[in-house]
Structure 1
Amino acid sequence: MIVNYKMILQYDGTRYNGWQKQGNTKNTIQGKIEEILFKYFGQEIELHGSGRTDAGVHAVGQVANFKVEYQKASIDKIYGAENNIGADKEAGRLKDNAVEKIKDELNSFLPEDIRILTLEQADNRFHARLNAVEKEYRYYISLDRKRDVFARKYMAQLEYPEKLDIERMRSASEKFIGEHDFQGFSDNKSKKSTIRRIDSIEFRLCGKNIDNADYMEEAHNGSISAVQDGCLEIIFRGNGFLYHTVRLIVGTLLAIGMGEASADVADEIFESCDRKRVPYMAPAEGLFLYRVEY
């Protein structure tokens, strides 16, 4: 019996070299989990993630799947048929309590900065990356000029946050909505299509939508002094994102918001498809893969 498992997991990407396995290092999220799966199930298992997060990028809701081939004897031995934990052979499924036990035991072996939130048996045709229809990424920027030492792993830090014109950033972000060729906003080395669709880019202040008149008046006045102890959250939703795309877009928006780049720079990059025109790439630590929809 072959079982296809779907998991939702979270991880702190600070000390890892990204999601994807690499030949020159074992220090990746995929590599760590596959190592545990091999020890637990006694067979080589390939883990398929919904997306390949970069080094230092975090995930709140990464989705992955992997397949395990069971023999009847191994099911009864590992999951204890006498305790009503095992396989529903007629349905071709493991029982729910068996799956929950697997999740708990895998978590006990994983490092504390990687956690499986849910584990379930999926249809054998399910693939975490190929079946995804929408992904949500969130990027966090500290607006605290004191540069909080504890926020440095999870937010981008600005040298002069009081200069940031958030309304200018939000206005410029509208250029990215819709279907575009994002070749200029990626470090994609593949020959596959670079056309993607971004459905929405939402700006929130400390978890609140900033569509409020008082805040917008402050933004237009060029002052965010009232929110210096907060953070800016930028939420991206789309059908898929190329390598480094979100960080390159955020870097472009920050350059516009700080007055270091023209609001027309996005149009110029789309037209030229020239990655070198991107002002800079936002740091990895502020980015979170938040949710994947199927």
Structure 2
Amino acid sequence: MNYKILVQYDGTRYEGWQRQERTESTIQGKIEAVLSKMCGEEVQIQGAGRTDAGVHAKEQVANVHLKEQVDPQEVKQYLNRYLPEDIAVSEVREVPERFHSRLNATGKIYVYRIATGEVKKVFERRYIYDFGEKPDMELMCRAAEILTGTHDFKSFCANRRMKKSTVRTIYSIDLKEKEGEIVITYTGNGFLHHMIRILTGTLLEVGMKKRSLSSVAELLEVRDREKAGFTAPAKGLTLEKVLYSPLQKESETL
């Protein structure tokens, strides 16, 4: 049977989503260890995508094939009983055998939070980048418009040896400002290594007038990581949702 699992986690103390041989501190590794204990044999899960060390998720999606049919509610309860307190499963349900959390995904929604006030957000310090300055929102919005659409985002990819295509489509970059904070929501069909964090750093440089709007357009042409902005810290980034239809809204269930 194939089971779809919705996972939320605080990524602060983990080395990212993907299982690694050198460490047990990964989200995938923790979930697989619990499922393997439940089933009495090694179990491997598939995630919709990798989140880097320190990045959080409100709704990561995974799927797992189990040899025997199990009540999804029992799987959910077992996982939540034995997973660490900073990882939780919000839903488990049976899905068609051919469902694959990564291959069937058509997009993702990420949110990046930036604190702009003079006073640090002490109780949210794990989930927000304490920038401490107030950039020009209008300039940032104009830069975001340039970056929206289908482009080669090689300038925004941390993997300089990337051999696969670096062309991606960003459906929208939505910037909202509230008291002492800027929230940037990125919706796209996929994102490269550190892409959102580099995009965020670039937008902030524009907002602080350290980079011109014309230079943003040039980044899409030069395809050179060295020319783009700084990489914003991981802790400000959260995977909000994995999409399984290009037109799916953030509020819709998967």
Given the two structures, how large is their TM-score scaled by the length of structure 2?
0.92
Aligned to 1:123: 96
The structure having more radius of gyration, on CA atoms, is: 1
Aligned to 2:128: 155
Aligned to 2:108: 135
Q: How far apart are 1:190 and its partner, in Å?
A: 3.6
Q: How far apart are 1:290 and its partner, in Å?
A: 0.3
Aligned to 1:56: 54
In the alignment of these two chains, the number of paired residues is 243
Q: Which string of whole-angstrom CA distances, capped at 9 and with x for unpartnered residues, describes residues 182-221 of structure 1?
A: 1111123442111110001111224xxxxxxxxxxxxxxx
Q: How far apart are 1:264 and its partner, in Å?
A: 2.0
Aligned to 1:200: 172
1:232-243 paired onto structure 2 within 5 Å? 232-243=182-193
Match among 110, 118, 136 for residue 83 of structure 2 = 110
Match among 176, 181, 184 for residue 152 of structure 2 = 181
Structure 1: segments with no counterpart, 5+ residues = 71-86, 88-93, 207-226
CA distance in 2, matches of 1:269, 1:240: 19
CA distance in 1, matches of 2:63, 2:177: 34
CA contact (8 A) 2:108 2:243 kept: yes
Structure 2: segments with no counterpart, 5+ residues = 245-254
CA distance in 1, matches of 2:157, 2:199: 9
Aligned: 1:248 with 2:248: no
1:19-30 paired onto structure 2 within 5 Å? 19-30=17-28
Bigger proportion of residues as helix: 1
Q: Which string of whole-angstrom CA distances, capped at 9 and with x for unpartnered residues, describes residues 47-76 of structure 1?
A: 111110010000001111111112xxxxxx
Q: SS at the partner of 2:209?
A: coil
CA distance in 1, matches of 2:138, 2:129: 18
Given the two structures, how large is their TM-score scaled by the length of structure 1?
0.80
Give the superposed CA RMSD. Answer: 1.2
CA contact (8 A) 1:145 1:158 kept: no
CA distance in 2, matches of 1:63, 1:258: 36
Aligned to 1:14: 12
